[in-house]
A and B are shown apart, each in its own frame.
Chain A
Amino acid sequence: MSDFEPKVVAFVCNWCTYAGADLTGTSRIKYATNVKIIRFPCTGRIDFMLLLKAFANGADGIIVSGCHPNDCHYTSGNFHAKRRWIMFKELMDFMGIDMNRVTFSWVSAAEGARWAEVVNTTVARVRELGPYVSYKEMVNKSVEEEVKNE
């Protein structure tokens, strides 16, 4: 699996992590190119279904990141998000969906170097875990289920 390049999707908030990732770039800090960043108004907007859709569409790893607690642009979006992630993670663990592939983090607009580190550690961990075969197999098998009568 040496040529495996993990696909990582990052769901980030506009005000902190997205700006932080911008700073990573303007600071000329190099980091793994495996990540595709999707910008949201707030972590409170990041529906858990989006994470499932990312896995279903071939992501091997996911990063969800926003403002540090008390720094939310909308005051409480990240606090709500935190509760949601706590429950989501528990449910995923209960169903055997691999949460080692998901990084939840707080990265502020000033933490350009930290963003690089979050991405690099996530990519390294997912590289270690390999492609998310079992989830992809389930998705593909579901397509086959439909045509099994043929």
Chain B
Amino acid sequence: MNNLVARAKELLNSNSVQVVIGYETGPTGVARPAFITNSEKADRLIYDERCVQNLAVYLTKHEVRKLGKAAIVATLPVMRSIMMLISEQQIIGENLVVLGISSEGNLLDIADIRVMQGIIEKSDLSNPPEYRELLAALNKMSPEEKFAYWQKELSKCIKCYACRQACPMCYCTRCTVEVNQPQWIPVQANTHGNMEWHILRAMHLAGRCISCGECGRSCPVGIPCHLLTMHLTDKVFNYFKVYAGTSDKMSSVMSTYEPNDKESFII
């Protein structure tokens, strides 16, 4: 990824940005987020198939913001997250340089938001293929099987909230789980409380999830919690014909409505 490194150096040397958010290789060989503030260190930047983490989560992080204007290495999910963050007025698009990465892994030239929007609109925005099989398998289960499946999976949850912390859309400074008057979600980790937490998380991400799968990937005990939000992403599209993170102007599905929204279960 020589041109990525070159571009990063150029941006840092010209002081167009103060930090490049990208990926580097850690000591055990895994790719991880890197924050390059000095062009001499830009050679650490990599991009390959190991680079899967959604870097957009850092755009709202206080200490990263303090570094100054940022350039960010952005695959499709990251670009969509950026769109969501702009539309929810968490970041200002003009203050960000997007080093887009195409699905083939090539550096894209993204001059502004409109270019990025064009790239997003041309992409397949449904849930990535690697998740579809499990989603379909779950959908085929009987209600009893589904309930048993989720009880088993969610019983493992230790409430470390890695799923929340890894999610670019979970930027609230105070989360509902931290509300204790009344205590909405039990503090302790047990199956019932865990289920309430994961339902709450999925509902708050309905229409906002951009299907990066980061929540499931970050879970230290391997709960496929990304399936909950991805399922809702499918359903949001079925009902409302929109995918999250396609425009910097859209309001999220759940904070808006159409008088003629169709459903079949309200009597």
Which residue on B lies nearest to A107, using beta carbons?
B267
Q: Which of B151, B199, B253, B263 contacts A138 (CB 8 A)?
A: B151
Q: Which of B206, B254, B259, B267 contacts A69 (CB 8 A)?
A: B259
A1 to chain B, nearest CB (A): 18
User: B265 touching A104 by the CB < 8 A rule?
Assistant: yes
Q: Which of A49, A69, A84, A118 contacts B196 (CB 8 A)?
A: A49
User: A91 touching B190 by the CB < 8 A rule?
Assistant: no
- Interface majority SS (helix, strand, loop, mixed), chain B: helix
Q: How many residues of A contact B (CB 8 A)?
A: 39
B37 to chain A, nearest CB (A): 41
> Which residues on the B side are within 8 Å of A95 (C-beta)?
146-147, 150, 195, 199, 228
Q: Does chain A have a CB within 8 A of B26?
A: no
User: A90 touching B257 by the CB < 8 A rule?
Assistant: no
> Which residues on the A side are within 8 Å of B144 (C-beta)?
96, 134
Question: What is the bound-complex CA distance between A118 and B200, given in angstroms?
Answer: 28
Q: Which residues of B121-155 have CB atoms within 8 Å of chain A's CB atoms?
A: 138-139, 141-151, 155
Q: Which residues of A89-120 have CB atoms within 8 Å of chain B's CB atoms?
A: 89-91, 93-99, 103-106, 118
B147 to chain A, nearest CB (A): 3
User: A96 touching B263 by the CB < 8 A rule?
Assistant: no
B228 to chain A, nearest CB (A): 7
User: B207 touching A87 by the CB < 8 A rule?
Assistant: yes
A36 to chain B, nearest CB (A): 19
> Which residues on the B side are within 8 Å of A70 (C-beta)?
259
Q: Does chain A have a CB within 8 A of B184?
A: yes
Q: How many residues of B contact A (CB 8 A)?
A: 46
Q: Which of A56, A82, A91, A118 contacts B231 (CB 8 A)?
A: A91
> Which residues on the A side are within 8 Å of B203 (C-beta)?
48, 84, 87-88, 91
Given contacts A91-B199, A145-B190, whether A83 and B257 have CB atoms under 8 Å apart is yes
User: A83 touching B147 by the CB < 8 A rule?
Assistant: no
Q: Which residues of B180-227 have CB atoms within 8 Å of chain A's CB atoms?
A: 184, 188, 190-193, 195-196, 199-200, 202-203, 206-207
Question: What is the bound-complex CA distance between A105 and B267, given in angstroms?
Answer: 5
B114 to chain A, nearest CB (A): 29
Q: Which of B146, B200, B231 contacts A90 (CB 8 A)?
A: B231
List chain A positions with a Cβ less than 8 A from chain B: 48-49, 52, 56, 69-70, 76, 79-80, 82-91, 93-99, 103-106, 118, 134, 138-139, 141-143, 145-146
Extra contacts, 18 of them, besides A86-B261, A86-B263, A118-B267 (Cβ < 8 A), are A48-B199, A49-B184, A49-B200, A56-B192, A80-B255, A82-B263, A83-B261, A85-B263, A86-B239, A88-B203, A94-B138, A94-B146, A95-B228, A96-B146, A97-B147, A104-B267, A138-B147, A138-B191
